[in-house]
Structure 1
Amino acid sequence: MDGNQLRKAHKRQQILQTAQQLFLEKGYLEVSIKQIAKRAGASQVTLYKYFPSKIALGRAVVLSMIEAGYTYYQQIIDDQTATFMEKVQQMMTESVAESEALAPSFFHFLVAEMRGDNDDQTVQTAYETQKQHFWHTLMEQGRAQGVVNDAVTDRAAMTYVDMYVSYIQKPKDATKSQKNFDALHADGEILTQMFFYGLMGKPTKDEAE
């Protein structure tokens, strides 16, 4: 990659990171292309060279977040110094924090992209491509440590995950979507605990105490 290509790649990444910061902080609807370009130190013309529309930019942000999320959680799974329970606790804590960091209108945009409402399945495909490998690896570690109930198959776990995601994605009505979002904020940690402890089966005597 020559110097010009490196500069272009750097500028694209700078715009992408700026857009993500603003979308998370203020929301998708509340932020304009002009604001993003200004904070990124670029003109709107330059921004449109990399991202032809606001939807395209928002989609790129969501794709980047999905990729970064899978990469980060895979690093947690690959940590040989942590037990399965320690990994689960870390992922539970951070997943709740991540959901709480989403501005409402950006959350709704993310959901729309996951549903393919904007006539594009790129985000759906990116999520599905890595999902099965991630959960299979996590389940296998839990079984190997005698923590995950052997009766719980990968297929059953994935069905639960899909049901959880579908609950958030399903309502297209803005009011219903907001209610689901509020529920996730209020009960996200409890819902996550219900899922993981369901995988583990009955708690041990020490855990129960």
Structure 2
Amino acid sequence: MTTDPHRCAWRGMAGDPLYEAYHDTEWGVPEYDSRALWEKLVLDGFQAGLAWITILRKREAFRAAFSGFDPEVVARYGEADRARLMADAGIVRSNAKIDAAIGSARTYLSMRDAGEDFSDFCWGLAGGKPVENRWASMAEAPAQTPLAVEVSQALKARGFKFVGPVIVYAWMQATGLVNDHLPGCFRHDAVRDMAR
């Protein structure tokens, strides 16, 4: 008989294979690839006002709709692409969020063309290594932190949208800029050891 490992207590995760797999293999793993960091930031922007599981279930549809989150392609999207995205029931259809995603691709490329690597920019804001938290329970973890406010302001200053401190903190947790796996979770130490 096998027993499930001890996981962070996310509401709705227990017994959901997709959600458990996301927690067990992806959430909190330090991400250093610029394009992947950007994709996750866009998806967290689409999450605004929704549960993350909603976005997770639609992630493959988002990837198909947004050309594999290739910023070179997304940055060239025009009115026909916006209309196509608004008609796509597989994604979250919001004019403001779609415009933010397209605009963020342009901002990402502007940073790159100016010699600013998005990964270096993000990790530099976090001090170059993951912030290690040791919350006693998920209820103790804040919705945002002073660092998330700082990162949010820096992203907004570059031109990114849907990057308020709550969204940014969720993104920081997802991409391993912050390790918010609970100390009793089987992923806490494993994720900590993945940091460069």
Q: TM-score, normalised by structure 2?
A: 0.26
Structure with the higher helix share, 1 or 2? 1
Decide which structure has the larger Cα Rg and report it: 1
